[in-house]
Amino acid sequence: MKYHSPVLLKESVDALAIKEDGIYIDVTFGGGGHSREILNRLGASGRLFGFDQDPDALENIIEDARFTLIPENFRYIARFLRFHGVKKVDGILADLGVSSHQFDEAERGFSTRFDGDLDMRMNQKSKISAKEIISSYSEEKLAEILFLYGELRNSRNIAKTIVEKRQEEKIETSFQLKAALQQYLPNAVEHKILAQIFQAIRIEVNEELEVLKEFLLQTPNLLKEQGRLSVISYHSLEDRLVKRFIRTGLFIGEPEKDV
User: Rounded CA gap, 132 and 223, in Å?
Assistant: 38
CATH for the 9-95+208-248 domain, from 1.10.287.990, 3.40.50.150, 1.10.3470.10, 3.40.50.360? 3.40.50.150
- Map residue 101 onto helix, strand or coil: helix
List of E strands, the chain: 23-26, 47-51, 67-70, 89-95, 223-232
- Map residue 230 onto helix, strand or coil: strand
If one counts every other C-beta atom within 10 angstroms of the C-beta of residue 58, the result is 12
Q: Which residue has the higher pLDDT, 42 or 58?
A: 42
CA dist 241 → 123, 202, 235, 247, 248 (Å): 23, 18, 10, 10, 10
User: Rounded CA gap, 249 and 242, in Å?
Assistant: 9
pLDDT of residue 151: 96
CB within 8 Å of 140: residues ≥ 6 apart: 159
Does residue 113 surpass a pLDDT of 60?
Answer: yes
Bridge partners, residue 69, by sequence: 50
**Residue 230, phi then psi, degrees to nearest 5:** -120, 120
- Strand order of the sheet with strand 223-232? 67-70, 47-51, 23-26, 89-95, 223-232
Query: What are the boundaries of each domain within the chain?
Result: 9-95+208-248, 106-206
| Residues 122-139: tens digit of each pLDDT | 998 888 999 999 999 999
Does residue 100 surpass a pLDDT of 60?
Answer: yes
pLDDT of residue 2: 60
pLDDT of residue 124: 86
Q: pTM to 2 decimals? A: 0.91
CATH class, domain 106-206, is mainly alpha
